[in-house]
């Protein structure tokens, strides 16, 4: 679907997913303003052509006005372990910040929102693949904060005519050109394994080899960050065309629908990079489900979204190119 150029605010647009989505919006011809306090994002991650405002979402009312056609909201803290140690940080920023953002949108008359939600809202699933009707039972303050925001958005839609799409991501990976993962500290499997390939880490820890899976290691659903970005643009298209009308809050899972085990990821990195990847077997981590795989039927049916990069090797290859560029290694 092709739409006329519009103006969007991207909160958290200096972070990994937000920056890639901002880049896709610009490539589509839209005007983009990135709002980010750089607490976890990077100024150099803001795509060329975007206006950049260094600021907090709690203060969004300073900049948000009726000239904006919608908001894409990525500004959140997202470390599960940290959320357990510092739950107040997550409630204040993820929930309190979003409450302030929704109030600013209401005051400015901006009535379209795409929210970066998460599969962590489901907790440990009763069955896979996981559908949007699955019970939500988050096991961390991070997941609970995202679920609270989903409930908050639903109330805003019903009471004040907001049109909104919450996209619940599973495991996002890969890169889009010069935009990729660089968390500090890094906690995601693919970039951690790539650090081993680069010689920045001696080995990769495999947490548990006795899960009820084909090879005994955890299985996760990996989605290319560029496919994820395309889902956000389709969500905006759906709201613009009133396929997601004012007053509706649509929740969609985003994933490939296929799971890859930890060992399959490690083997794929070995094949893509040509480097040996030493492994260290470690005990299971508490709360790690055996398998997390998405059903993305709702996204396909309501948004017309189908991932175009489902091959794990392609995801790893793009992430590897980005990791080498950051490390100053010639591919």
- Name the residues annotated as catalytic: 142
**Residues ≥6 apart with Cβ < 8 Å to 261:** 213, 214, 215, 217, 218, 219
Residue 250, H or E segment: strand 249-254
Nearest in space to 56 (alpha carbons), one of 107, 112, 96, 16 = 96
Pairing state between β 260-261 and 219-220: antiparallel
Cβ contact 213:257 at 8 Å: no
Distance (Å) of CA 199 to CA 24, 152, 186, 288: 32, 45, 15, 27
Joined tokens for residue 209: 């080899």
Burial class from Cβ neighbours inside 10 Å (0-12, 13-18, 19+) for residue 118 reads buried
**Residues ≥6 apart with Cβ < 8 Å to 154:** 164, 249
Q: Helix (H, G, I), strand (E, B), or coil: what is residue 281? A: strand
Across the beta sheet with 70-73, the strand order is: 51-54, 31-36, 7-11, 70-73, 112-118, 163-169, 249-254
**Residues ≥6 apart with Cβ < 8 Å to 133:** none
Across the beta sheet with 291-292, the strand order is: 260-261, 219-220, 291-292
CA 204 to chain centre: 23
CA distance 142 to 92: 11
């Amino acid at each position: 679907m092709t739409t006329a150029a519009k103006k969007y605010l991207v909160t958290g647009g200096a972070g990994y997913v937000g920056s890639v989505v901002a880049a896709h919006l610009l490539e589509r011809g839209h005007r983009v303003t990135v709002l980010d306090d750089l607490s976890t994002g990077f100024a150099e991650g803001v795509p060329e052509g975007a206006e950049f405002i260094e600021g907090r979402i709690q203060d969004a009312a300073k900049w948000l006005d009726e000239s904006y056609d919608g908001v894409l909201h990525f500004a959140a803290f997202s470390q599960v372990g940290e959320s357990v140690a510092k739950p107040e940080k997550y409630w204040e920023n993820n929930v309190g910040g979003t409450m302030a953002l929704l109030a600013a949108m209401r005051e400015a008359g901006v009535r379209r929102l795409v929210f970066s939600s998460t599969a962590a809202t489901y907790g440990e699933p009763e069955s896979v693949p996981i559908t949007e009707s699955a019970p939500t039972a988050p096991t961390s303050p991070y997941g609970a904060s995202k679920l609270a925001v989903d409930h908050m958005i639903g109330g805003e839609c019903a009471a004040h005519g907001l049109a909104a799409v919450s996209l619940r991501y599973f495991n996002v990976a890969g890169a889009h050109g010069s935009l990729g993962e660089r968390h500090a500290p890094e906690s995601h499997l693919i970039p951690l394994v790539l650090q081993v390939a680069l010689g920045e880490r001696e080995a990769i820890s495999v947490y548990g080899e006795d899960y009820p899976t084909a090879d005994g290691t955890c299985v996760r659903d990996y989605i290319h960050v560029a496919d994820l970005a395309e889902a956000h643009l389709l969500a905006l298209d759906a709201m613009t065309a009133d396929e997601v009308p004012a007053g509706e809050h649509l929740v969609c899972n985003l994933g490939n629908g296929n799971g890859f085990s930890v060992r399959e990821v490690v083997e794929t990195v070995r094949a893509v990079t040509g480097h040996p990847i030493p492994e260290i077997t470690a005990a299971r981590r508490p709360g790690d489900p055996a398998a997390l795989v998405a059903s993305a039927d709702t996204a396909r049916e309501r948004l017309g979204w189908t991932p175009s990069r489902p091959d794990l090797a392609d995801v790893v290859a793009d992430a590897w190119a980005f990791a080498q560029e950051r490390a100053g290694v010639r591919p």
